[in-house]
Amino acid sequence: MKDYYVYIMANNYATLYAGVTNDLERRVFEHKHKLVRGFTKKYNITRLVYYEVLGDPWNAIAREKQIKGWLRCKKVALVESVNPNWEDLSAGWFGEADERRGPSLRSG
């Protein structure tokens, strides 16, 4: 069975992005290196701060839509429930400098 990932990425200015993918490492690489035009490239969203693993693509898509529909405070609470220091969970995946924590993202 293939895994599917719902994830939240952030920049250093408190902007959040939720997405879904079947290859988390590839997708994070694309965000970090700005290989795809769009929201994450425009707002320099490069830090993986949360992810979930699901076994069904339809459940993953439904979960992504659910999270995207939440107010910011609920998304922040979700991230902080597993990553209270807002560390970049992908730090070191691609041999880059270890940027584990940026400025506080709790405002908003």
* Res 52: pLDDT: 98
* Res 36: pLDDT: 86
67: domain range? 4-82
Q: Look up the CATH number of the domain holding residue 31.
A: 3.40.1440.10
Q: Please give the average per-residue pLDDT across 21-34, as a whole number.
A: 95
Structural domain count, the chain: 1
Domain-located, residue 108 = no
Whole-angstrom distance, CA of residue 13 vs CA of residue 15: 6
Domain-located, residue 106 = no
Domain-located, residue 98 = no
Q: What is the pLDDT of residues 31-78, one digit of tens each?
A: 999 998 999 999 999 999 999 999 999 999 999 999 999 999 999 999
Domain-located, residue 69 = yes
Domain-located, residue 102 = no
Asked if the model's pLDDT at residue 92 lies above 60, the reply is yes
Domain-located, residue 21 = yes
DSSP-derived pairing of the beta strands 16-21 and 47-54: unpaired
Domain-located, residue 104 = no
In 3D space, the residue among 21, 17, 10, 90 whose CA is nearest the CA of residue 54 turns out to be 21
Q: What is the pLDDT of residues 72-86, one digit of tens each?
A: 999 999 999 999 999
Burial of 2 (0-12, 13-18, 19+ CB in 10 A): exposed
Domain-located, residue 67 = yes
The pTM of this model reads 0.86
